[in-house]
Structure 1
């Protein structure tokens, strides 16, 4: 998810474990609601996952850009650490998850 020059590639656990655990909890609840066919709650949790993923990407971006609290070191660090393609995959996945269930009415004849 992040490319760090000295250490190599970091996944979300190495960047911030709390964000990973909350994300896994949200996705586990979403999967549970899908398997028990609670589609209304699945839709709500998919939207929560979409919002959480955007907040998570912003949190990691701010953590990278304000790691030391010093403008010089933060500027150097933010130029060396780059986001990887995993963020795009994550955001596309939660967008597909949020748009996978439509609200339709059945007409009984």
Structure 2
């Protein structure tokens, strides 16, 4: 999968730490729109914490709808190889594509001070 477009939408709390939520449009027909979450890393860059598929729809989610999962963490699915291990090369490539898209890196730097 490749990143077509990405932009930072807000800062949220993930696991007790501030995280930048990035809306990402991809060329994956099954997950055209995902949310990627980034946190500061120890090497002065950003860690890709998780990727969430958003199936939320105002037509069905304006009430408590148990018919589907509105937000599903797909981090492991996307980057798992045949031996059920994380493909760190693919994960790093995706991370860099998101960070280099538009103003993402600059916006994360500004918001996650």
Q: Could you tell me the TM-score, scaled by structure 1's length?
A: 0.32
* Structure number with higher helix proportion: 1
Structure showing greater radius of gyration is 1
Q: Could you tell me the TM-score, scaled by structure 2's length?
A: 0.31
* Structure number with higher strand proportion: 2
